[in-house]
Amino acid sequence: MSRHIFYVIFFAAAAILVVFVSPSSGQTRLGALNEQKSRYDDILVQKVVNADTLVLENGETIRLIGVRAFGNPVRKKKLSRDEYGFVVKEKVDWEVPVEEQAQEFVQELLKGKHVRLEFDAVQKDAEYKTLAYVFLIDGNTFVNARILERGFADLQIQSPNLKYAQQLRDAYHEGRVYSHGIDE
C-alpha cells in the first residue's frame, strides 16, 4: 500500500512540473502568462475597423467585450461629372449615418493612442479575435463603456465575460439619451 501511495505522489508531482514549467526556459507557464498580459499594459492602436473592433500595432485584432457595432460604415457617394469628365463636387450631406458617426468617434478616441487591455474568462471569439476591455492610458478612460455612453453601439454581454457587466449596462442605458435617432 505504501508503494502505491509513493507512485501516486510521484506522478502527481511530475504532472505539476509538466503543467507549470516550460521545458525550454524553466520559466513557469504562470509567469509566462503574466509576461504576456504585461505586454498589453501599454500598446498602440494602429487602426479602428468599426465601433467594436480595432487592430493593435502588433497586428492583433481586438474585439471590445460588451460592445456590438451597428454595422460597417457605408456612405453612398454619387459621383457626377461635368461635360469634360471632371468630378463635380456634391453638396454637403448633413445627414451622416450613425455607423459613420460611430466610426469617426471611435477613430478619434483610439487611433494612434496607447491603451491597456484587460481580459475576462473567454479571451477569443468564434473568429479567433482577442476579446478585451480597453482602457486609454491617458486618463484611464474605459473605452467599451464610453462608446456605449455615447449611443454608438449596442450592448452585447455574453456569459462568462461578466467582469464589467453592470458598468456596461449602466453606460448603455445612459447612451440611450444620445440615441442618434435609434429606437430602443
Is the alpha carbon torsion for 43, 44, 46, 48 positive or negative? Answer: positive
Helices (H), ranges, the chain: 2-20, 29-38, 98-110, 143-149, 165-175
pLDDT digits (tens, 9 = 90+) for 55-70: 999 999 999 999 999 8
Question: What pLDDT sits at residue 123?
Answer: 96
Provide, rounded to the nearest whole percent, the portion of the chain with pLDDT above 70.
68
Cell 508531482, residue located: 13
Assess whether pLDDT exceeds 70 at residue 74. no
- Cα–Cα distance for residue pair 141/77, rounded to 1 Å: 35
The mean of the pLDDT values for the chain is 81
Residues 6+ away with beta carbon under 8 Å from 168: 66, 67, 144, 145, 148, 155, 157
Residues 6+ away with beta carbon under 8 Å from 119: 37, 40, 130, 131, 132, 133
Q: Top-level CATH class of 43-178?
A: mainly beta
2-20 vs 29-38: helix axis angle to the nearest 10? Answer: 20
Strands 43-50 and 87-88: unpaired
Q: What is the mean pLDDT of residues 51-56?
A: 96
Domain borders along the chain are 1-38, 43-178
**What does pTM read for this prediction?**
0.69
